[in-house]
Amino acid sequence: MTNGTAPATPSTPRSTLVVTAHAGDFVWRAGGAIALAASRGERVTIACLTFGERGESATAWREGRSLEEIKGIRREEAEKAAATLGAEVVFFDAGDYPLITTPELTDRLVAVYRQVRPDVVLTHPLDDPYNGDHPAAARTALDARVLAQAIGYPAEGEIIGAPPVFFFEPHQPEMCGFRPEVLLDITEVWNTKRKAMECLAAQRHLWDYYTDLAVRRGVQLKRNAGPNLGLAHKTMAEAYMRPYPQVTEVLD
């Protein structure tokens, strides 16, 4: 498959860039994809635009923690989760609720694109009526991807190709126009994803929710895969959606 990015060589492992709004998003939505890529020796970079300090840290606020304390807690959780998955994480500290897209934020993300030169990009869908930070992060991710390809854009580093983008599943898929167009088998790294989830004590209530979701998507994966005896009895999966056409020489 051709995606506009120069193919990786043995000395240059494939690169995945994950752009998320908040500190926990990459774990719930794409932890399996991250762990799979890392298990193959690929480089995974997480661009975490905010810590989720205002909108996703209710327990810490009820405990009387200060804003800076909460940022520290969420940063530590995200670092542990990323390390568990085998990824590196870059924090932008752009502020959440609301996440405001600025030229400066986009420019910083363009620099990350040109530095890590991703073969694939994972981010939020462009619609989420429950959390405006998520589509803001997605829009920033897509805009930065295009600008990173433009030779005339004044950012450091060489221009990139056109890495394919996958939207990971939102918390309320039915309300976000999300269709599970790609089902990724994450069975072999499920335990790793679960351990990463358990690093996020601030959102403990989501541990079982995303475990159950992985089971449901695994059932759908097996149904769509047909009579494949190689699939595990209890397959775990993540769902993704593609905003751009797939470019290929073979329909499979």
- Per-residue model confidence (pLDDT) at position 1: 39
- In this prediction, residue 5 carries a pLDDT of 55
Band (pLDDT 50/70/90 cuts) for residue 184 is: very high
Q: What is the pLDDT of residue 6?
A: 53
Q: Distance between CA atoms of 30 and 246, rounded to whole angstroms?
A: 20
**Average pLDDT, integer, range 184-213:** 95
Q: Which domains does the chain have, with CATH numbers?
A: 15-226+235-241 (3.40.50.10320)
Q: How crowded is residue 180: how many other Cβ atoms within 10 Å of its Cβ?
A: 17
**Of the candidate ranges 71-85, 94-108, 127-141, 218-232, the one whose mean pLDDT is the lowest:** 218-232
d(CA 207, CA 173): 18
Predicted confidence (pLDDT) per residue in 24-71, tens digit: 999 999 999 999 999 999 999 999 999 999 998 988 999 999 999 999
Mean pLDDT over each residue of the chain, to the nearest integer: 93
Residues 122-146 pLDDT 10s: 999 999 999 999 999 999 999 999 9
Record the tokens describing residue 155, joined without a space. Answer: 């950012």
DSSP state of 4: S
Give phi and psi for 23, each to the nearest 5: -65, -30
Closest CA to 136 of 102, 90, 91, 89: 102
Round to whole Å and give the CA distance between 59 and 1: 45
Spatial distance between the Cα atoms of 52 and 41, rounded to a whole number of angstroms: 29
Tokens of 26: 């990459």
